[in-house]
Structure 1
Amino acid sequence: MRAVVIEEYGVLPEVREVPEPVAGAGSVVLKVEATGLCRSDWHGWMGHDSDIVLPHVPGHELAGTIAAVGAGASGWEVGDRVTTPFICACGECEQCLEGNQQVCPNQLQPGFNYWGSFAEYVAVPYASVNLVRLPDTMDFTTAASLGCRFATSFRAIHQVGRVRPGEQVAIFGCGGVGLSAVMIAAALGAEVTAIDTNPAALSLARTQGATHTVQASDSVVDRLRELGGPHVTVDALGSGEIVQQALQALRPRGRHVQVGLLPAGVNLDVGRLIGQELSWLGSHGMPAHAYPEMLDLVATGNLHPDRLITRTITLEETPAALAALSNGTPAGVTVIAP
């Protein structure tokens, strides 16, 4: 099969022929119909993820058709249209049995722990726990945009942040995760403020339901307080500076949801956290069993993840697009059609 192969960190990958994956016990192999290009893939290419072993094939946001079914992967057949969370949980540990597959200690992540979806085929382990059947009306490009950024934002806003109609929500960072969060929070009836350095990203945020947009600067906290102060703040980027601004801007008893991965050594204003009774909430992905509610909202036209897709590229165009992320993240979501 054709795949994007990383031989050295930071060196432009190549598209070449490699062996196809095999459907082991409990797993399936998918023919990749579409896969998202995410900044996490760039971090992997740069050598920021200790799970990656070279040579490596990245890619973790995917949708496709089942091409092979391994022994024990019951309930699935060749030709089924599916997607999967980027966290493939084991289904047997304490956390999985309680329904918390997104924090499974035995999880495998395509494109990180093993070869991913920047290829014509990819394996999905623990298929009975991790596969999500796609509605017939949903195209693969839209489905691929759900697996990491949109699903992560849906759980962060709706299930972890518990955003309610009429609340003020401030979203820091308007990449794929942030724009998804803007759309979801607006659909839930919140008044959304989007913050970013990129005017194009802010413009796109307005089209997705942001009531206010703010250019990132030292005056962000003052501007958010002028608007009344958010009930909920979301760091969709992962920045120590953003964390401080988010906590400073929150109204008393507000909730901060941390989605972006933070560098080591970030210091929190714990005194403000205590004195204002603020809540600090981490959110990491979304389990497959939680997808139906999100898919129903897409099917009924309440959510439009397809509107966030701004570019579709080929496998051959992917190495250059991955390398271009060194210069910043373009507005919207890029999807690869192998």
Structure 2
Amino acid sequence: MKVARFHAPGDIRVEDAPEPAPGPGDVKIRVRNCSTCGTDVKIFKHGHHHIRPPRVMGHEIAGEIVETGAEVTGWTPGDRVQVIAAIPCGRCEECLRGRLTVCPDQESMGYHYDGGFAEYMVVPAKVLAVDGLNRVPDGVGFAEASVAEPLACVLNGQELARVGEGDDVVVLGAGPIGCLHVRLARSRGAGRVVLADLNPERLAMAAELVRPDATIGGPGVDVVDEVLKLTGGRGADVVITAAASGAAQEQAVQMTARQGRISFFGGLPKDNPFIRLDSNLVHYRELTIVGANGSSPRHNAEALGLIASGAVPVADLITHRIPLTEVLDGIDTVARGVAIKVTVEP
């Protein structure tokens, strides 16, 4: 079978590999779609401290079961499934307290285990043990199901930021994550949703799809000033930084209303993780700043439900569909910001 393996930064190879065999507690699937994201770009350029090469990449996975291990119950060949990316241990203090997204012993598909840039892959028993293999609802395609993983992360972020009825929400970053934030905020009852991005072409492409109430973008535009104008000087109830930008995080604090919430959704580069924070704004406005780190198995299941119900449509966000042999072109497309969502169809 064909796989796309990471060997070193700048070195991802599409190569032949034997089909894997499931262990007693594992499930083997035929991968139908594995979507790409900015994390794949980072791994391609810089590697990752959890990846021991060679490793099959890909963590936004959907497919169908072709074989189950001898100890597996409740699953049969032909079942359509979506696979979680982040695998909590289920046993540590954080997991026992229900904080699965911050499990210190978390492992990941495509990092610790071979992922979905392959024709076939094994879903390890550890995924099944934490209810991380989800049935794809009727009417949901494999490509849509693969987008459940990033939507699950977005859901976690908006739960932590308490996005709700009537909120003015600003999303900084018009990539696929920003688009999902816009749609999820609407489904949660937000009053107005504003989408901002420095790249006017990317912003226009995203806005054409997700139809925010307003857009802010382009060189030289003062995003903070524009948000204040749109909100009558009050600021936004929720600001989500859906970009790996320290400047966006600093701006978010300046444009948030009293008792507003800020989600630092996009992580910063590890060699430059610090920002200048006006702590008096946090203090006197009683602001809440929250992080957002991945998703739990529950978030993945709920994301599939949101897609199936039509509450958060995702099919139109998939702008590029490519075969596995063109995965490097797909990662480059993501890096150049000329797509919303790119999915690989092995």
Which one of 278, 284, 287 corresponds to residue 275 of structure 1? 284
User: Counterpart of 2:341?
Assistant: 333
User: Retained in 1: the 8 A contact 2:334–2:342?
Assistant: no
**Which deviates further from its counterpart, 97-106 or 55-64?**
97-106
User: Counterpart of 2:309?
Assistant: 300
* 1:260 corresponds to 2:262: no
CA drift of 1:292 comes to 4.2
**Residue 137 of structure 2 aligns to which amino acid in structure 1?**
P
* 1:236 corresponds to 2:242: yes
User: Counterpart of 1:113?
Assistant: 112
CA drift of 1:275 comes to 2.3
User: Retained in 2: the 8 A contact 1:315–1:336?
Assistant: yes
Unaligned residue ranges in structure 2 (runs of 5+): none
* SS of equivalent residue, structure 1 residue 6: strand
Using the size of structure 1 for normalisation, the TM-score is 0.92
Distance 1:20 1:318 in 2: 19
Distance 2:278 2:33 in 1: 42
Higher strand share: 2
Using the size of structure 2 for normalisation, the TM-score is 0.90
User: Counterpart of 2:89?
Assistant: 90
**Residue 121 of structure 1 aligns to which amino acid in structure 2?**
Y
User: Retained in 1: the 8 A contact 2:209–2:317?
Assistant: no
User: Retained in 1: the 8 A contact 2:59–2:110?
Assistant: yes
User: Counterpart of 2:3?
Assistant: 3
**Residue 244 of structure 1 aligns to which amino acid in structure 2?**
E
Which one of 295, 303, 307 corresponds to residue 286 of structure 1? 295
Provide the alpha-carbon RMSD of the alignment.
1.9
**CA distance 1:9–1:292, change in 2 (3 Å):** closer
Unaligned residue ranges in structure 1 (runs of 5+): none
Any idea what the Cα deviations from partners look like across 1:29-49, whole Å, max 9, x if unmatched?
221110101110111111241
**CA distance 1:266–1:321, change in 2 (3 Å):** same
**Residue 151 of structure 1 aligns to which amino acid in structure 2?**
A
1:172-211 map, 5 Å? 172-190=172-190, 191-203=192-204, 204-211=206-213
**CA distance 1:155–1:206, change in 2 (3 Å):** farther
User: Counterpart of 2:222?
Assistant: 219
Distance 1:325 1:5 in 2: 18
Distance 2:42 2:6 in 1: 12
1:28-67 map, 5 Å? 28-67=27-66
**CA distance 1:169–1:292, change in 2 (3 Å):** same
User: Retained in 2: the 8 A contact 1:172–1:242?
Assistant: yes
**Which deviates further from its counterpart, 178-187 or 269-278?**
269-278
* SS of equivalent residue, structure 2 residue 77: coil
- Identity among equivalent positions (%) equals 33
CA drift of 1:10 comes to 1.2
CA drift of 1:63 comes to 0.3
Any idea what the Cα deviations from partners look like across 1:176-202, whole Å, max 9, x if unmatched?
111100111122232111011233432
User: Retained in 2: the 8 A contact 1:74–1:128?
Assistant: no
CA drift of 1:304 comes to 0.5
1:303-314 map, 5 Å? 303-314=312-323
Any idea what the Cα deviations from partners look like across 1:306-337, whole Å, max 9, x if unmatched?
121111110111122223444x2223101110
* SS of equivalent residue, structure 1 residue 105: coil
User: Retained in 1: the 8 A contact 2:170–2:239?
Assistant: yes
Any idea what the Cα deviations from partners look like across 1:80-106, whole Å, max 9, x if unmatched?
211122102222323333333222222
Distance 1:320 1:160 in 2: 35
Distance 2:92 2:22 in 1: 22
User: Counterpart of 1:152?
Assistant: 153
Distance 1:10 1:253 in 2: 44
Any idea what the Cα deviations from partners look like across 1:260-297, whole Å, max 9, x if unmatched?
11124412322322222111111122222234443333
**CA distance 1:206–1:193, change in 2 (3 Å):** farther
User: Counterpart of 2:328?
Assistant: 319
Distance 2:308 2:37 in 1: 24
User: Retained in 2: the 8 A contact 1:25–1:71?
Assistant: yes
**Residue 241 of structure 1 aligns to which amino acid in structure 2?**
A
**CA distance 1:56–1:183, change in 2 (3 Å):** same
Distance 1:324 1:334 in 2: 8
CA drift of 1:74 comes to 3.4
